[in-house]
Chains A and B, each alone.
Chain A
């Protein structure tokens, strides 16, 4: 049995939207980072789905590089959080407004 590609893409889309809603609505910066991870995973599923659709391994290779980028991003992001907590005593993204954003 072959899973229809539209179902795969719909699944990754829903996962991506859950990630976006998490990033936009949560105040805890750690959970915001988790939302970003969910979005990256959705992108990876898309890569693998298209790789299968075209019978080309390049999509899977790209997904591997994507995982590398995600690992680096999480390491740097969490280091920034620790530095932020040390200086501001909070990781609530609503209270971190020194750049007047």
Chain B
């Protein structure tokens, strides 16, 4: 219970750092911290398989991709930085706060749903990983295969786009 609030706080804090840091490398490192916290929250929610996938794909794959591109694209020189668009930034941030306030208001006005969480179904014999595997390879087999085709297309697209002569 307390663990959730700690993880959520660290996650939100590092997410704030991601969007405020000047240096993209620092932003990427805070991003991976946020992803780890989200993985911890998945564990608390008894979605262990998803937590493992989160760490493998985000921390293992996506972060490395980000860091590679940050290394390939040189940082902007500090001196030639145009003035910060303060007015526009504040306007967009206010827009974000407004959206936040609106949605928070709507769902804290609603009562907590009375239905008890059916964790029994999620933790059915063999635990979460077995249950997810059964669902994934039986009921969701076709979407699973389509996802693999999507990944193949994305890979080919990335290679074609990043080639020297486009």
Contacts and interface: CB of A to CB of B under 8 A. Distances in A.
Those 10 A-B pairs whose CB atoms lie nearest each other, nearest first: A55-B118, A22-B19, A72-B154, A79-B161, A1-B1, A79-B158, A24-B92, A21-B96, A79-B162, A55-B121
B89 to A, nearest CB: 5
Contacts of A71: 57, 61-62, 151, 154
Contact of A3 (B4, B16, B58): B4
A6 B106 CA distance: 11
Contacts of B44: 3
B16 A18 contact: yes
B73 A34 contact: no
B135 A57 contact: yes
A31 interface: yes
Interface residues of B, number: 81
A52 to B, nearest CB: 5
Nearest to B2: A1
A92 B76 contact: yes
Interface of A: 1-11, 13-15, 17-22, 24-26, 28, 30-31, 33-35, 37-38, 41, 44-45, 48-49, 51-58, 60-61, 63-65, 67-76, 78-83, 85-86, 91-92, 94
B151 A57 contact: no
Interface string B56-94: 011001100110111011001000001000001100110
A55 B113 contact: no
B50 A48 contact: yes
A92 B81 CA distance: 11
B24 A31 contact: yes
Contact of B66 (A9, A24, A51, A74): A74
Interface string B1-31: 1001000100110011011000010011001
